[in-house]
Structure 1
Amino acid sequence: MPEVLLIILYSAFSGITVFFGGLVSYFFGKEFSGNKHKKEINHFVIAFGGGIILAALALVLIPKGIEELELFPLILCFAAGTLIFFFLDKKIEKSGSKYSQLIAMLLDFIPEALALGAIFATDRKTGILLAVFIGLQNLPESFNSYQDLTANTFKPKKALSILFLLSFMGIIGATTGFYLLSDLPKVTAGIMTFASGGILYLIFQDIAPSVKLKKTWLPALGANLGFLIGIIGDKLIH
């Protein structure tokens, strides 16, 4: 199979989970509307996503940056990602945007998709692993994005339509990365390191503080499960 078709296939998987996460959230809202454990399950899903994102950062994004970049560019890219995500987060909060979850999802999805396409040409196993990580992290992020959208006047059908359209961002980003960045490993590593800085900021600013619940340990277990899946995936390709 031609390389570009494989990239489209794997990036389609990583993107379509944006829509699937919204569908799960839709059925979850209907089936568990009166369930006393709904809040715990919701926080478990958020924490699981945080664990997956942390695994992607620790096992793929940062190691690739360290491998390809000298110390100063590495610091510069990571710091730039951190600061830009910080300023965007502040701006979103100040503007009172009702779609912060959706914006946060796209902020890490787009650079990761670009990196996926660029990596695939030279390191298929790592590219596949990154596609799996992106797909798994998109599930809980879109799960929450759907709730964000429906809580702010969007009908379920319209909210799902938005998530379905956004699911194609994976294919667009990955094919762009393949054609423009596959011969530029240092630029790709810079994008991955930049994304790492922003993702780490979002984990500790938004995800970790929001999963804590009194008298339940389920969310923390979700984070560990998410990271464990990342370890398993990394072990399988090495």
Structure 2
Amino acid sequence: MGQAVLWGAVAASPLLVGALLSLVRRWPDRLLGIILGFGAGALMASIAFELWEQGVELAGNLPLIAGVGAGALCYYVAAHVLDARQAHRKKKDTGGGSLAVGALLDGIPEQLVLGIGLASGEGVGVALVVAILVSNLPESIGSASDLLAGGMRKSRVVLLWAGVAVVCALATVAGFALASAVGDGFRAAANGFAAGALLVMLVDSMIPEAQKKATESTGLATVIGFAVAAWLALSS
């Protein structure tokens, strides 16, 4: 259990670190767009070479695809509820809230699977930890910066991302505890859930926000992020 707590904290810490970095200085829009583009590419590689590939190996296509549909629908509904609340309060939607929702819906199942793997005796490679950092850090920096630009107080931004990080870390502990009660089908569905939520978030929020801020540099940053994360995933 101690190992699950440790690795859960390590995997979730980039979410809070990114939010804190957004408080250190005001990040130029172009740089934020490049960071978001890089993070989007890293997340695409994570979906292709970690979540999807592992899900198919664990239980085949059916549980994975069911999880993808559930994750996509959950993110879609959550994002629309958030948009409606922002419209009711007459606040400008900067995209930061949607990225936070995406991080939560991705992080919970992903770290749940991590905890199950630890309980099953699977090791945690350095490449996997670095890949999580590569994707989570840009996502939280971009989201927190957008939330600050939208008028949210610094204390609330930090509390929001601290909450996301804590919930994701606890998911690792929960996965460790549930390992003996769930099978490969559940793990595959959890992978699919994370992939589905991420795909909708990428198309609806992260990539459009990156494109708006970095314009023609977004595509190059995305390809570089994909290449780095793919290399890390394939070398683990």
TM-score by length of 2: 0.83
In structure 2, the residue matched to 1:35 is none
Pair 1:177-2:175 in alignment: yes
Unaligned runs of 5+ in 2: 88-92
In 2, Cα distance between the equivalents of 1:162 and 1:84? 19
Does the 8 A contact of 1:46 with 1:207 survive in 2?
yes
Letter in 2 for 1:22: A
Change (3 A) 1:157 1:209: closer
Does the 8 A contact of 1:55 with 1:227 survive in 2?
yes
Does the 8 A contact of 1:11 with 1:174 survive in 2?
yes
Give the RMSD, CA atoms, in angstroms: 2.6
In 2, Cα distance between the equivalents of 1:198 and 1:70? 19
In structure 2, the residue matched to 1:167 is 165
Does the 8 A contact of 2:99 with 2:205 survive in 1?
no
Pair 1:110-2:100 in alignment: no
In 2, Cα distance between the equivalents of 1:154 and 1:209? 21
Q: In the TM superposition, what whole-angstrom CA distance separates every residue of 1:47-90 from its partner, at most 9, and x where no partner exists?
A: 11111111111111001111122433333222222223223223
Task: Say which is worse superposed, 151-160 or 112-121, in terms of deviation.
Answer: 151-160
Q: In the TM superposition, what whole-angstrom CA distance separates every residue of 1:75-128 from its partner, at most 9, and x where no partner exists?
A: 322222222322322332233276333222212111211111112334635676
The match for 2:49 among 49, 59, 82 is: 59
Task: Say which is worse superposed, 92-101 or 218-227, in terms of deviation.
Answer: 92-101
Does the 8 A contact of 2:110 with 2:194 survive in 1?
yes
The match for 1:39 among 25, 29, 38 is: 29
What is the percentage of aligned positions where both structures have the same residue? 26
In 1, Cα distance between the equivalents of 2:214 and 2:148? 29
In structure 2, the residue matched to 1:186 is 185
The match for 1:154 among 152, 155, 172 is: 152
The aligned runs of 1:75-224 (5 Å cut-off) are 75-96=65-86, 99-122=97-120, 124-125=122-123, 129-181=127-179, 184-212=183-211, 217-224=216-223
Letter in 2 for 1:137: S
SS of the equivalent of 1:154 reads coil
Task: Say which is worse superposed, 147-156 or 39-48, in terms of deviation.
Answer: 147-156
In 1, Cα distance between the equivalents of 2:67 and 2:205? 21
Letter in 1 for 2:5: I
Does the 8 A contact of 2:34 with 2:214 survive in 1?
no
The total of aligned residue pairs comes to 227
Task: Say which is worse superposed, 140-149 or 104-113, in terms of deviation.
Answer: 140-149
SS of the equivalent of 2:102 reads helix
Q: CA deviation at 1:218?
A: 2.7
Letter in 2 for 1:194: F
In 1, Cα distance between the equivalents of 2:75 and 2:156? 28
Q: CA deviation at 1:205?
A: 1.7
Q: In the TM superposition, what whole-angstrom CA distance separates every residue of 1:5-32 from its partner, at most 9, and x where no partner exists?
A: 3332222122111121012212231xx5
In structure 1, the residue matched to 2:10 is 13
In 1, Cα distance between the equivalents of 2:233 and 2:121? 13
TM-score by length of 1: 0.82
Q: In the TM superposition, what whole-angstrom CA distance separates every residue of 1:122-141 from its partner, at most 9, and x where no partner exists?
A: 46356765443333322122
In 2, Cα distance between the equivalents of 1:68 and 1:123? 15
Change (3 A) 1:79 1:160: closer
